[in-house]
Chains A and B, each alone.
Chain A
């Protein structure tokens, strides 16, 4: 089966690749482009560890085909910090000890950023429901929610 040529933008960089028709965007990111920050926890869209945004929409990259990225704007965890400056969510996650093992962290950060872009002042309940698609087995979510709420407050003050 012939491969598909894809031209896309990832974290602002122009990118081209060839992928198999059945290959997921997650596989392309991890195995072809070396962007291993997005994690595969399930491959079925249940855990959110592979969360990225595609044209601003939060998706599980394991449920998107690599070919569907044609002409799209993809944002992954690797593009979240600007140079040496961490995104406020990244900084607050470290300060609040909101990660233990860290495997779910990239997906949760991408999802939380997507939440705050839509709703800069979420209630705790809104944050919990928005992040309900991102599984964390270590923290019990307490410190994650605190970090998101604190980052949101800081970003509101800064804006």
Chain B
């Protein structure tokens, strides 16, 4: 369509404005219904019994005393779930939701109970007797790779892993091109350094919650907070042996996810309890359960070898990345290895990634999964070399920046991209030249994320009074209903207030992939625009029928059908409302549809800049000023784009400075609460300034790129580089908590 090539010059009327979100009033009045806010008649309360051991064989589970308590209606263990065949992906999810032969981490579910009240369920839970044989454990990624380390599983390594390695090493990935040795030989200096990051949790404020019902006829209904109701349906159906069409999943309002709600934890257990008891079962996690048993991201250990000439050209980049993803294969090391050098145009580049299992909870996606750790290592190394040569770190990045036509380290050749634009804007920004005080330092770093498209299905219904409903299938996690309504209004030529977007359950709309990969504004937006075009074609057809002219002699502009070509001016235009009002007489209801497995998501780049002050007495790091420069393609609702930039930056600040999973010698998590797992609070932070760049994505009709994930990629290195500038010490281990920074300063 001609419009697709015109996105750069198109004048928007609705897109780019800042209307009020449709769910705003519900969310400021307490009316919005989240996962734990639903009830059902006759509802039971479900609770999970969890392993107190990091690694233990489950020899026997005796549930008889618990089952004898009045008010207990069902107890389930792994024996209540079907055996999964050769589908490792599903088998691992089931094993994570309910342990089989072994408990693999502190907090691993071993049994669950449904009772008529929470008090009875808590009492009965204590009466379940589990006979454990405690096994040696390992929680550190480097320790887990050593020969002789305690082994979680045998036979899970795939064919990429060389013989003779620990069975905990389950996959190896390699990317790159050129000749690293030759590249390094051309450098004036080669930096070799190892970087480490701890696991951090997504930290959504809403714990996992669901309400399940299942009848003896096999029909089931599930209400839950999730990033993807279709994923929940398909996963639970596979685990429990249900038909996908018989299980209807409705997504509640979602209280944050950041990737952590792209899998299931409670849902199959609640369905199993509902099936066994014949009653609706509600389950809600405690914060401790969220931290112990749901996905944090991977911890990492990364070796970098980077060569640079004295004028700042990177001659070669090598990274070996080791990520532990908890008790099952699937750490995001592949994304780390693909993204590590993605912002740069390098002749010689190679990355090797190792996926490692340990006795920790199964990792779940966390905002640009795998990329922040890799960027921390690479961007820290670039900064250290640049500073060593006395070069401007922004100039060094500009000198090496990937552009349109660059062959990326992970194999693709980039179309139009925005990295250079973010760097130039950063260099021109007043922040870059603002004065600094004593013990203060400024840092910059870049970040990249792939972005995703995926399976998407949208319907658009035109009501008889000319108002419009967009029906989409992706939980709205940060204002996407507003963005869909805006794109629909833009395309139809009507006002934002005439459109209401709702999110369908799994039985009401075709498959939609989860809200992840920064895909929703891109892919659901694209499908919304195409569904609107479908509806416009139908409305033009109806107008043609009324006017007695050919369909293709009608065009849509400014919210109305107009006779075009030789018929131009022959009839007054018919507005959307006028066409809708007579739809019954011209062929029936009017709707638009679009289904796609979307490609062309358009990669995303950002540059971040921070000023920090390091207290030489305590080692505490204060964030003084922070500016995000990121390419949004086209910012549909700029306030929500800014919100994604700010939120990602602050999650990155937490990762850099405070947040970490701390394990005791016994392998149990020592800080399973918000008091000790400390995410940033308002008083830790300044305002987070944002600069939106708009380099249109050629793959979207309006030029939109996803924006949600890239913003968490640069902060780790940005802050480490600023701390280095402020204190003179290079921090290669995250988090940069006060004791670590103080020790580094004292040791320098």
Contact = CB atoms under 8 A, between A and B. Distances in A.
Tell whether A pairs with B.
yes
Interface of A: 20, 30, 35-44, 46-47, 49, 76-78, 80-81, 86, 90-91, 93-97, 99-106, 109, 125, 127-129, 131-146
Interface in B253-284: 253-258, 284
Given A94-B21, A141-B650, A42 B643 contact: no
B639 A36 contact: no
B205 A104 contact: yes
B270 to A, nearest CB: 17
Given A81-B29, A137-B679, A140-B647, A97 B18 contact: yes
A101 B681 contact: no
A41 B205 contact: yes
A36 to B, nearest CB: 4
A28 B229 CA distance: 30
A43 B647 CA distance: 24
A138 B685 contact: no
A151 B545 CA distance: 53
Contacts of A127: 682
B258 A137 contact: yes
Contacts of A36: 30, 33, 36-37
A99 B203 contact: no
Question: Residue among B24, B203, B204, B207 with the most chain A CB within 10 A?
Answer: B24
Contacts of A129: 682-683
Given A40-B36, A94-B21, A143-B639, A103 B256 contact: yes
A42 B256 contact: no
A135 B639 contact: no
A102 B27 contact: yes
Given A76-B30, A93-B28, A103-B34, A142 B23 contact: no
A100 B643 contact: yes
Contacts of A145: 682, 687
A106 B255 CA distance: 12
B325 to A, nearest CB: 22
A38 B206 contact: no
B256 A132 contact: no
- Bin chain B's interface residue count: 35 or more
B649 A140 contact: yes
B287 A41 contact: yes
9 contacts: A40-B36, A40-B284, A46-B674, A78-B29, A86-B29, A132-B681, A139-B647, A140-B685, A142-B687
B119 interface: yes
A80 B33 CA distance: 17
Interface string B513-557: 000000000000000000000000000000000000000000000
Nearest to A109: B28
Interface in B206-226: 206-207
B92 to A, nearest CB: 27
B211 to A, nearest CB: 13
B682 A39 contact: no
B29 A44 contact: no
A153 to B, nearest CB: 16
Nearest to A42: B287
B731 to A, nearest CB: 22
Contacts of B258: 137
A101 B25 contact: no
A106 B30 contact: yes
Nearest to B32: A102
Given A47-B674, A140-B650, A101 B256 contact: yes
A127 B684 CA distance: 12
A142 B646 contact: yes
B443 interface: no
A103 B531 CA distance: 31
Nearest to A106: B30
Contact of A103 (B206, B642, B684): B206
Nearest to A91: B28
Given A97-B639, A145-B687, A42 B673 contact: yes
Contacts of A104: 205, 255
A105 B23 CA distance: 12
Interface in B16-47: 18, 20-21, 23-34, 36-37
B675 A46 contact: yes
6 closest A-B pairs by beta carbon, nearest first, are A37-B30, A103-B255, A140-B650, A102-B27, A46-B674, A94-B24
Contacts of B287: 41-44, 46-47
A85 to B, nearest CB: 11
B647 A100 contact: yes
Given A94-B25, A109-B28, A128-B685, A46 B643 contact: no
B166 interface: no
Main secondary structure of the interface of B (DSSP, over half): loop
Interface string B134-153: 00000000000000000000
A125 B202 CA distance: 27
Given A41-B207, A43-B287, A101 B255 contact: yes
Contacts of B255: 39, 41, 101-104
A137 B688 contact: no
Question: Residue among A47, A86, A139, A140 with the most chain B CB within 10 A?
Answer: A140
B291 to A, nearest CB: 10
B413 interface: no
Nearest to B26: A102
B30 A77 contact: yes
A99 B679 CA distance: 17
A145 B682 CA distance: 8
B328 interface: no
B336 interface: no
B20 A95 contact: yes
B643 A20 contact: no
A49 B166 CA distance: 45
A103 B478 contact: no
Interface in B639-686: 639-640, 642-643, 646-647, 649-651, 673-675, 679-685
A114 to B, nearest CB: 15
B477 interface: yes
Contacts of A77: 29-30
Contact of B204 (A86, A131, A137): A137
Nearest to A141: B682
A81 B119 CA distance: 34
A30 B674 CA distance: 22
Question: Residue among B119, B207, B639, B643 with the most chain A CB within 10 A?
Answer: B643
B30 A97 contact: no
A140 B679 CA distance: 11
Contacts of B206: 39, 41, 101, 103
B508 interface: no
Contact of A86 (B25, B31, B257, B682): B25
B479 interface: yes
A106 B29 CA distance: 7
Question: Residue among A43, A133, A142 with the most chain B CB within 10 A?
Answer: A142
Given A94-B20, A102-B23, A137-B203, A131 B682 contact: yes
A37 B29 CA distance: 7
Given A37-B30, A77-B29, A132 B205 contact: no
Contact of B646 (A30, A44, A143): A143
Contacts of B32: 102
A97 B674 CA distance: 25
B286 interface: yes
Nearest to B202: A137
B34 A46 contact: no
Nearest to A103: B255
B30 A78 contact: yes
Contacts of A96: 639
A38 to B, nearest CB: 7
Given A97-B18, A103-B255, A44 B674 contact: yes
